[in-house]
């Protein structure tokens, strides 16, 4: 076996320095020319003034070299095929192993071209006949020991050693029984050039060698399917042992393997029928892995795009956005499962769907038409943070997929959530199981989670605020992942801006960008339809329905479903407000803020749309109209929570939550959100104290 020397790159020499060419004295052209010895080509070069010095090839310099000390000037390392130690010169065996008789074991893909007359091979008795015994040397090769050469009859299925006496022109193999006392086993493989996945269609029905990383193993009712990835792509390789029985159980996921097999088309897709597969180790494995990693890094590089709108904040945030796109693309090209966890509202859903639309074509390109079933999941979260319930589901599903399909642990992308201390308990659980996390959010960050995530894209890190929605950021990142989806998703930022009531100039720009196709009322109706449908979808992604609502499917269905859902949502909101508005209590605080409170536990319909947060928001919108131009805060509270909405009051809800937690002992205050929109949790018995202290802090806040 040979491996190339890394130090001299297989040349056997090390370049020490360069010196002036002694023949041409640095000119690069021959000093003297014998015309009668020049070829026609050289004469042409001479006439054109392009004849080069033969010694330095026209460079004017020659290298000063010495033999490579690492490989002794050989350029390669030769290793004993039996024990693996380095040996001088070329050959199969080291001195010690050469003293023992070599016995060769043929791998399953070998044919008569790997057989040599006079060599000994391991075989298995396949059958008896009057004229001799048939011996299988591998599944492809069968030979015969003639009865005249047998001193005894070996048993059926017995492993024996045989010498190849002759190979007839018709392929018949004549064998002799041998029983060496001391021997050395040598594995024999078919030597084929390595082929890449992108080349395999050229070799349909032919025996090929490919090497790559095992990314998934599926046991079907018939063969075992190994998904193997190399520098250019992924191909499914099928091995059959018995129906439903795992073939090659020693092969695990995330290992580098060598496959010998035959490419074929099966149900319109490329598949390799495995003759043999084995794990590679050491330098062989590392070399392949490095090549794959380097190729994936190149393919994962995000597209350089111009943003759809002008924004200083987005420009400052661009490096983080590009890194997020790079990490997502790399996960897709490495066939690593990707889970998008997003808040179940218009902003969270539009941001996640933008990434989904960009990502699915890449995942299918890499892993086949059904790859998104195994390598992608979009999951809504009811709370605007990564809850323990969420991470428990993600870990459970990931472990099940790892057990059933030998998949890698996933990359979790948190969108419109994940930016604060509330997310840490779930994130810590995920990290224990090897799950990587990335955050794309616009909630006000507290810096707590940044050390535990791969990337945190947040407008606050570029001088912006929550007015730049996650839908805006997610859409631009999606375009970096796959710019081909730009036309179909460029209206999603405008929908998210309407859903999150963004007052940022970027929000107005995104709305203007699609004004030729969508009026403001169209965008508002889409946002409300998403919020309404998300409430009933619970923990399902509702891919088909959400696509129709966002006009990513049938345009006829889009209009019909948006109109219907708006009719139902508005009727539910009207019914809710008819019950709630008369029970709103209003008071003016010392700083001039009009504070409105509503007990949504007792004065709002439960377990229906709109939920407490949405109910509080709708009440707040109507009160803003009633008290136009005045500072206003609306609090919707229940037994152990409070939802806050404000306008014209300079609040910092995350900071207020921290203060309440430390100032009111035994209340267990937690929560957060944006600076002026958020939620607070507390223990039920301390509700009165928490709400009183909260009102006090609102009264002390600045106005404007």
> What confidence score (pLDDT) does residue 538 get?
82
Instruction: Specify the higher pLDDT residue, 478 or 31.
Output: 478
For residues 262 and 276, give the distance between their C-alpha atoms in angstroms, rounded to a whole number.
10
**pLDDT tens across 2-11, in order?**
566 777 777 7
Classify burial at 121, counting beta carbons within 10 Å of its beta carbon; exposed 0-12, middle 13-18, buried 19 or more: buried
- Structural Rg of the chain based on CA atoms: 36
Q: What are the start-end ranges of the H helices in 136-264? A: none
> What confidence score (pLDDT) does residue 615 get?
95
For residues 457 and 455, give the distance between their C-alpha atoms in angstroms, rounded to a whole number.
6
For residues 584 and 513, give the distance between their C-alpha atoms in angstroms, rounded to a whole number.
39
Backbone phi and psi for residue 684, each to the nearest 5 degrees, phi listed first: -60, -40
Asked whether the CA dihedral 142, 144, 150, 155 is positive or negative, the reply is: positive
Q: List the single range of 316-320, 501-505, 563-567 with lowest mean pLDDT.
A: 501-505
Q: List the single range of 32-46, 158-172, 538-552 with lowest mean pLDDT.
A: 32-46
> What confidence score (pLDDT) does residue 472 get?
98
> What confidence score (pLDDT) does residue 182 get?
86
> What confidence score (pLDDT) does residue 63 get?
84
Mean pLDDT calculated for residue range 340-346? 95
What percentage of the chain reaches a pLDDT higher than 90? 69
Number of H helices, E strands in the chain: 18, 30
For residues 331 and 456, give the distance between their C-alpha atoms in angstroms, rounded to a whole number.
17
Which pairing describes strands 269-279 and 256-266: parallel, antiparallel, or unpaired? antiparallel
> What confidence score (pLDDT) does residue 33 get?
55
In sequence order, the 6+-apart residues with CB closer than 8 A to the CB of 493 are 308, 350, 469, 471, 472, 475, 506, 507, 510
Residue carrying structure tokens 């209340």: 667
Provide the greatest CA pair distance for the chain: 115
pLDDT category of residue 695 using cuts at 50, 70 and 90 = very high
Token pair of 263, please?
């490419």
Q: List the single range of 27-36, 52-61, 159-168, 488-497 with lowest mean pLDDT.
A: 27-36
204 pLDDT exceeds 60? yes
> What confidence score (pLDDT) does residue 533 get?
96
**pLDDT tens across 213-272, in order?**
998 899 999 999 999 999 888 999 999 988 889 999 999 988 999 999 999 998 888 999
* Threshold 0.85, pTM exceeds: no
Mean pLDDT calculated for residue range 146-154? 92
621 pLDDT exceeds 80? yes
Q: Which residues pair with 194 in a beta bridge?
A: 209
> What confidence score (pLDDT) does residue 14 get?
85
pLDDT category of residue 635 using cuts at 50, 70 and 90 = very high
For residue 65, give Cα distances in angstroms to 57, 74, 247, 364.
Answer: 17, 14, 51, 51
Best-predicted range by mean pLDDT (320-324, 416-420, 650-654): 320-324
Cis peptide upstream of residue 457 (ω within 30 degrees of 0):
no
For residue 330, the surrounding DSSP H or E stretch is helix 312-333
> What confidence score (pLDDT) does residue 45 get?
52
For residues 476 and 506, give the distance between their C-alpha atoms in angstroms, rounded to a whole number.
12
pLDDT category of residue 41 using cuts at 50, 70 and 90 = low
Distant-in-sequence contacts of 367-375, Cβ < 8 A, 24+ apart: 367/227, 367/234, 367/335, 368/234, 368/236, 368/269, 369/269, 371/335, 374/216, 374/337, 374/401, 374/405, 374/407, 375/332, 375/335, 375/336, 375/337, 375/338, 375/407
DSSP at 210: E
22 pLDDT exceeds 60? yes
75 pLDDT exceeds 90? no
Q: List the single range of 34-43, 254-263, 269-278, 370-379 with lowest mean pLDDT.
A: 34-43
Q: Which residues pair with 136 in a beta bridge?
A: 124, 142
**pLDDT tens across 405-442, in order?**
888 999 999 999 999 888 999 999 999 999 999 999 99
Mean pLDDT calculated for residue range 338-351? 96
> What confidence score (pLDDT) does residue 67 get?
82
Instruction: Specify the higher pLDDT residue, 138 or 37.
Output: 138
> What confidence score (pLDDT) does residue 83 get?
66
Between CA 392 and CA 396, with CA 331 as vertex, the angle to 5 degrees is 15
> What confidence score (pLDDT) does residue 49 get?
57
273 pLDDT exceeds 70? yes
For residues 555 and 561, give the distance between their C-alpha atoms in angstroms, rounded to a whole number.
10
In sequence order, the 6+-apart residues with CB closer than 8 A to the CB of 132 are 144, 145, 146, 147, 149, 150
Q: List the single range of 21-35, 263-277, 326-340 with lowest mean pLDDT.
A: 21-35
| Among candidate residues 537, 681, 678, the one with its CA nearest the CA of residue 613 | 678
Mean pLDDT calculated for residue range 454-464? 96
Token pair of 258, please?
């060598």
> What confidence score (pLDDT) does residue 304 get?
95
For residue 493, the surrounding DSSP H or E stretch is helix 492-499
Q: List the single range of 352-356, 558-562, 649-653 with lowest mean pLDDT.
A: 649-653
> What confidence score (pLDDT) does residue 200 get?
94
Average pLDDT, the chain: 90
Q: Domains along the chain? A: 2-67 (no CATH), 80-188 (2.40.50.140), 197-299 (2.40.50.140), 301-559 (3.90.1640.30), 584-703 (3.10.310.40)
Inter-helix orientation angle 312-333/282-300, to 10°: 140
pLDDT category of residue 66 using cuts at 50, 70 and 90 = confident
């Amino acid at each position: 076996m040979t491996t190339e020397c890394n130090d001299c790159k297989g040349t056997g020499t090390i370049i020490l320095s360069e010196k002036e060419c002694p023949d041409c004295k640095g000119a690069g052209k021959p000093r003297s020319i014998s015309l009668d010895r020049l070829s026609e080509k050289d004469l042409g070069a001479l006439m054109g003034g392009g004849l080069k010095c033969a010694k330095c090839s026209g460079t004017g310099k020659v290298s000063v070299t010495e033999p490579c000390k690492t490989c002794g000037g050989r350029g390669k390392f030769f290793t004993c095929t039996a024990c693996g130690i380095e040996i001088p010169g070329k050959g199969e065996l080291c001195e010690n192993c050469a003293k023992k008789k070599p016995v060769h074991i043929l791998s399953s893909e070998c044919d008569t071209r790997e057989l040599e007359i006079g060599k000994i091979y391991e075989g298995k008795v396949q059958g008896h006949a009057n004229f001799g015994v048939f011996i299988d040397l591998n599944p492809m090769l069968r030979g015969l020991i003639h009865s005249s050469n047998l001193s005894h009859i070996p048993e059926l299925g017995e492993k024996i050693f045989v010498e190849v006496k002759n190979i007839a022109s018709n392929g018949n193999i004549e064998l002799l029984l041998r029983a060496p006392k001391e021997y050395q086993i040598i594995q024999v493989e078919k030597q084929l050039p390595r082929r890449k996945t992108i080349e395999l269609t050229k070799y349909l029905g032919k025996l090929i060698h490919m090497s790559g990383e095992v990314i998934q193993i599926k046991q079907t009712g018939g063969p075992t399917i190994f998904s193997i990835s190399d520098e250019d792509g992924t191909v499914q390789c099928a091995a059959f042992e018995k129906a439903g029985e795992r073939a090659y159980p020693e092969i695990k996921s995330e290992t580098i393997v060598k496959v010998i097999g035959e490419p074929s088309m099966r149900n319109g897709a490329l598949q390799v029928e495995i003759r043999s597969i084995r794990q590679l180790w050491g330098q062989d494995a590392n070399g392949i892995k490095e090549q794959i990693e380097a190729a994936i890094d190149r393919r994962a590089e995000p597209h350089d795009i111009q943003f759809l709108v002008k924004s200083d904040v987005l420009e400052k945030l661009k490096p983080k956005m590009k890194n997020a796109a790079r990490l997502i693309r790399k996960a897709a090209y490495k066939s690593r499962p990707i889970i998008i966890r997003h808040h179940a509202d218009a902003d969270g859903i539009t941001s996640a769907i933008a990434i989904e639309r960009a990502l699915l074509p890449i995942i299918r390109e890499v892993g086949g038409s059904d790859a998104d079933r195994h390598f992608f999941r979009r999951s809504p979260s009811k709370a605007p943070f990564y809850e323990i319930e969420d991470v428990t589901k993600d870990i459970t599903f990931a472990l099940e997929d790892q057990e059933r399909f030998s998949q890698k642990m996933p990359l979790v992308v948190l969108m419109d959530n994940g930016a604060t201390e509330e997310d840490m308990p779930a994130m810590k659980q995920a990290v224990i199981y090897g799950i990587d996390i990335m955050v794309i959010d616009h909630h006000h960050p507290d810096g707590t989670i940044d050390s535990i995530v791969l990337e945190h894209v947040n407008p606050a890190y570029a001088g912006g605020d929550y007015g730049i929605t996650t839908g805006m950021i997610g859409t631009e990142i999606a375009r970096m992942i796959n710019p081909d989806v730009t036309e179909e998703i460029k209206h999603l930022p405008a929908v998210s801006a309407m859903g999150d009531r963004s007052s940022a100039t970027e929000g107005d720009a995104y709305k203007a960008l699609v004004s030729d196709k969508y009026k403001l009322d169209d965008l508002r109706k889409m946002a409300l339809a998403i919020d309404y449908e998300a409430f009933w979808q619970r923990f399902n992604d509702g891919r088909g329905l959400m696509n129709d609502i966002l006009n990513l499917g049938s345009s006829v269905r889009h209009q019909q479903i948006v109109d219907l859902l708006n009719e139902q949502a508005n009727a539910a909101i009207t019914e809710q407000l008819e019950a709630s508005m008369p029970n709103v209590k209003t008071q003016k605080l010392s700083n001039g803020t009009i504070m409105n409170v509503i007990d949504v536990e007792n004065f709002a319909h439960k377990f229906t749309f709109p939920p407490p947060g949405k109910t509080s928001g709708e009440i707040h919108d109507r009160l803003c109209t009633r008290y136009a131009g005045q500072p206003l805060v609306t609090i919707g509270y229940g037994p152990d929570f409070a939802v806050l909405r404000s306008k014209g009051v300079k609040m910092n809800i995350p900071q207020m939550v921290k203060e309440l937690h430390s100032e009111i002992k035994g209340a267990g205050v937690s929560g957060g959100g944006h600076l002026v929109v958020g939620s607070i949790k507390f223990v039920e018995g301390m509700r009165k104290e928490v709400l009183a202290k909260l009102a006090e802090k609102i009264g002390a806040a600045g106005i404007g």
